[in-house]
Amino acid sequence: MASSFGASTNTRKIRLFRNGDENFFGKTLVLNPRQIRSYNGLLETVTAHLGLGHAVRSIRTPRHGTVVQSLDELEDQQDYVAVGIGRFKSIGYILSPSMMNAIRMCILVLLLF
């Protein structure tokens, strides 16, 4: 599983979700090949970036839960789920930006009243 970015691969930007967390709208992570050189390094970085209390053990696609097994499988501008302890939970992680804004507005209105 130890894979590194290819020589011609540029920096990638991905959005990460916490497994099973319906209240987390995702967090963007920039993958720089100079800083993250291995899959294990990616898992450590994701654990720190998401502030999880446990180690991330796998990265999966949000729709089908397919395991990402190397850095080369990560695509720029795509969404992924960080899975730690337990099984992958398919809860509909991907929301459109307009849907996210609508949810934020509803939360704001509820907090004001």
Is the CB of residue 49 less than 8 Å from the CB of residue 29?
yes
Q: Which amino acid is at 41?
A: G
pTM value? 0.73
Q: What does the pLDDT read at residue 98? A: 63
- Give the whole-angstrom CA distance, residue 63 versus residue 42: 21
- Give the whole-angstrom CA distance, residue 53 versus residue 29: 18
Query: Where are the chain's structural domains?
Result: 12-112
For 26-63, the pLDDT digits (tens) are 889 999 989 888 999 999 999 998 888 889 999 999 88
Q: pLDDT band at residue 74, thresholds of 50, 70 and 90?
A: very high
Average pLDDT over residues 82-94: 83
Q: Which stretches of 1-113 are assigned E, i.e. beta strand? A: 12-18, 27-31, 58-60, 67-68, 79-83
Looking at the domain covering 12-112, what would its CATH class be?
alpha beta
Longest dimension (CA), the chain: 54
Q: What does the pLDDT read at residue 39? A: 92
- Give the whole-angstrom CA distance, residue 28 versus residue 14: 6
- Give the whole-angstrom CA distance, residue 88 versus residue 31: 23
Give residues with Cβ within 8 angstroms of 110, minimum separation 6: none
Q: pLDDT band at residue 1, thresholds of 50, 70 and 90?
A: very low
Q: What does the pLDDT read at residue 89? A: 87
94 has a pLDDT exceeding 50: yes
Q: Six-digit token pair at 48?
A: 């720190």
Q: pLDDT band at residue 12, thresholds of 50, 70 and 90?
A: very high
